[in-house]
Structure 1
Amino acid sequence: MIKRTFLMRGKERHEFMVYFERIGGIPSDLPDGAIIFKGGPWTARIGPQTVYMLRTIPFPEVEVTIEAEDEVFEALLKDYRIMFLTAGG
């Protein structure tokens, strides 16, 4: 099993929930306000949305933890990164 945690800024929590449900994850609420999606050989934990302030500009911030079997982790991570690719500027 491989596990990685990402602190994602600039995307709403709902966007992550829609993505993991679209790829087959079944959601379950956790007592701490997070949601866990289980999709066969992988799980994803979506933490509560908070706000990150960059001077006076608010950005949504969500902690996403992905855990998957070794043989599916890289493909899942590649798809996740492409889906949530952002560029600054």
Structure 2
Amino acid sequence: MSSNDAPNSSNPSMIHGHAAYVAGAVKETIGSYTSTDMQNAGASDKEAAVEEMRAAKQLSDQQGGEVSKNPTLGEVEQTIGSVTGCEGMEEEGAKRQS
């Protein structure tokens, strides 16, 4: 993540974390065809996104842990999580659907 994209450490966002993870996965995939530096940057972006999602989950758990129900958003989130290999995103999507 670039410094402009870095989340506020006192206010981590699950949505931003998911978006950053997907962007990192895309960058890593493109990098696997173009350059090792880009591939490594994508992997690093994914790691940072996972840390942000963990922080957001921890904050959510401290605040009661309720996930808003939205079957459409949940299905999209679960599908994107499956395609990108983000298990947390898949789980959050499943929770939104139930």
> Do these two structures clear the TM 0.5 threshold for a shared fold by scoring above it?
no
Whose radius of gyration is greater, 1 or 2? 2
Return the TM-score normalized by structure 2.
0.26
Structure number with the higher strand fraction is 1
Using CA pairs below 8 Å that are at least 6 residues apart, which structure has the higher relative contact order? 1
Report the TM-score when normalising by structure 1: 0.27
Name whichever structure is richer in helix by fraction: 2
